[in-house]
Amino acid sequence: MSADMSILSLFLNASMIVQIIMLALALLSVISWAMIIDRSRALKKAERNGVQFEKRFWSGLDLAKLFTDLTTRNNIPSGMELLFVAGYREFGRLRKQEGTSAEAVMDGTHRAMRVAYSREVDKLEVNLSFLATVGSTTPYVGLFGTVWGIMNSFIALGSVKQATLAMVAPGIAEALIATAMGLFAAIPAVIAYNNFTNKIQKVESLYENFVEEFSGILHRKAHSLVKR
């Protein structure tokens, strides 16, 4: 490709509308990659911490000691740890209230864990809607730039007596670059969105299973306390 047909040259010689579209697509691509990296790290951390906590939980450690360790350390509990802390704290609070049945204790405990679960899932889904929007709209934005560039090329072609390929090639090339940039922004966003959605479903399943298993443990404990 010659210097006159370089990408930079085509961008500088493009119409203002096409330049704005290219800049917008480049900006959306950069933002998308930043969000992809951030979500990838967050999901890996959530899945890793969930597996590690589950191993610790089922190791036979006393629940009261585990609760104390999580609530007194410097790091704020998150993910499965937060589900445990929310459930155990509410369980301890309700069972101290006189006249509270085991069913009422478990209803409040389960409700507290579901609220914590909902908040943790919301954290995992941060920026996913943006990636979905980028993946679905940027190809059309790039296509708009393509149509605009080709339209300008043919308008300019109509004002000359003898048309040559060299006269329309730059305009068509700049138009196709807009399409390519739209696809460059969209494809990674779509792939990341689908990948993250699958990972979030796995983490959600991990959380849901823990909530049900922990509820079963506390349910047996609540009824044993009532019998006493």
Could you read off the pLDDT of 30-50 as tens digits, one per residue? Answer: 999 999 999 999 999 999 999
Q: What is the pTM (predicted TM-score) of this model?
A: 0.81
Please state the rounded mean pLDDT for residues 160-171.
64
- The tens digit of pLDDT for each residue in 112-159 reads 999 999 999 999 998 899 999 999 999 999 998 888 888 877 776 666
* Per-residue confidence (pLDDT) for residue 36, from 0 to 100: 95
What secondary structure, in 3-state letters, does the chain show? Answer: CCHHHCHHHHHHHCCHHHHHHHHHHHHHHHHHHHHHHHHHHHHHHHHHHHHHHHHHHCCCCCHHHHHHHHHHCCCCCCCHHHHHHHHHHHHHHHHCCCCCCHHHHHHHHHHHHHHHHHHHHHHHCCCHHHHHHHHHHHHHHHHHHHHHHHHHHHHHHCCCCCCCHHHHHHHHHHHHHHHHHHHHHHHHHHHHHHHHHHHHHHHHHHHHHHHHHHHHHHHHHHHHHHHC
pLDDT for 3 equals 42
- Quick: pLDDT tens for 67-82: 999 999 888 888 999 9
Can you tell me the mean pLDDT for 76-105? 88
Question: Residue 125 belongs to what domain range?
Answer: 3-227
The confidence score (pLDDT) of residue 162 equals 64
Share of the chain above pLDDT 90, in %: 51
Q: Is 175's pLDDT higher than 90?
A: no
Task: Give the total number of structural domains in the chain.
Answer: 1
186 pLDDT higher than 80: yes
